[in-house]
Amino acid sequence: MKSAESSPEVLEVLATLQRDGYCLMKGLIPSHEIVAVRESVGNSVRKHTSLPMPQGYVTGFLRHDQSIAPYLANPRLLAVLDRLFGDYPRISMLTGTINGPGIKRGDVHADWPFNQNSKARIRAPYPDIVMNLVTMWMMTDYTIENGGTMVIPGSHKRDYAPRHGTEHDPKAKYEGEVQLQGKAGDVGLFDARTWHAIAPNVTQEERIGVIVRYAPWWLNLQTLRPGTPDHRQIVEANKGHDSRVEPVPRSIYDRLPESAKPLVFHMIDESC
């Protein structure tokens, strides 16, 4: 851990994240294993999606599919998290996605807890601190044509996010937009404050990914979890449509690789 912490790769990732708000880490899932993981993720998303295809979207994905679990604590990534968050980083959200053929461009936004449409949010102007790291695990290649996520470099340095009815229109096109591109097995990283959007998929193939978000131990994740007092009081009582993260049943947690357990122990549902 200590040697990875100061590796040239980690320093480069940190510097790029700080400058641009996003970057790429290559090969966090080995090339000889990605096909099996992709097949499992794709099948689980198609089976459990809460949105109609071609947009597959499954929150609390770990309760349905654990094929990504062996990679979640990759030491190269943990070394980055260590520098960003200190001790005890954890997973805040884990979502399986398919952006299928015909998917259109989405609204430009920052992610929770900076998304100003959420009931549980850090109100803008927000402080200059990384509080949630979005990692886009590429199950297929991410290309311009198949809708590699659109990001606006440097937008994480703003202390506000796009919102309907303001001059920062979520439907607008923004200068400098780029798309996350990488090979299957690579992981795109971005600061949750970085403005981004779904990009159109103009191919005939599905773009499959798992979005894993990592946070420091001190960030309150309870508003994301249906059934908690925080979710009832802050989200439901205010008719919010905040992101949600369903818990991991104890029986599934017990079978996870040991390396993944410290990242998700806070999500256990002890009742099943």
* Sequence-distant (≥ 6) Cβ neighbours of residue 172 within 8 angstroms: 108, 162
Name the residue with the smallest CB distance to ligand AKG: 149
Q: How far is the CB of 136 from ligand AKG (least distance, A)?
A: 7
What is d(CA 185, CA 50) in angstroms, rounded to the nearest whole number?
25
Q: How far is the CB of 211 from ligand AKG (least distance, A)?
A: 5
Residue 193 or 196: the one with the smaller Cβ distance to ligand AKG is 196
The phi-psi region of residue 239 (left if phi > 0; otherwise alpha if psi is between -120 and 50; otherwise beta) is left
Residue 85 or 112: the one with the smaller Cβ distance to ligand AKG is 112
Which residues are 93's β-sheet partners?
A: 213
Residue 82 or 246: the one with the smaller Cβ distance to ligand AKG is 246
Residues engaged in binding ligand AKG (CB under 6 A): 97, 99, 111, 149, 196, 198, 211
Q: How far is the CB of 243 from ligand AKG (least distance, A)?
A: 8
Instruction: Please provide the distance, in angstroms rounded to a whole number, between the alpha carbons at the two ends of the chain.
Output: 34
What is d(CA 215, CA 44) in angstroms, rounded to the nearest whole number?
25
Residue 111 or 242: the one with the smaller Cβ distance to ligand AKG is 111
Residue 17 or 139: the one with the smaller Cβ distance to ligand AKG is 139
What is d(CA 246, CA 153) in angstroms, rounded to the nearest whole number?
31
Q: How far is the CB of 60 from ligand AKG (least distance, A)?
A: 14
What is d(CA 18, CA 23) in angstroms, rounded to the nearest whole number?
10
What is d(CA 92, CA 263) in angstroms, rounded to the nearest whole number?
9
Q: How far is the CB of 198 from ligand AKG (least distance, A)?
A: 5
Q: How far is the CB of 95 from ligand AKG (least distance, A)?
A: 7
Residue 151 or 248: the one with the smaller Cβ distance to ligand AKG is 151
The two beta strands, 187-191 and 133-138, are: antiparallel
By CB atoms closer than 10 A (0-12, 13-18, 19+), residue 147 is buried
Report helix, strand and coil shares of the chain as percent, to nearest 5. Answer: 30, 20, 55
Residue 194 or 256: the one with the smaller Cβ distance to ligand AKG is 194
Q: How far is the CB of 184 from ligand AKG (least distance, A)?
A: 15
Helix (H, G, I), strand (E, B) or coil at 77: helix
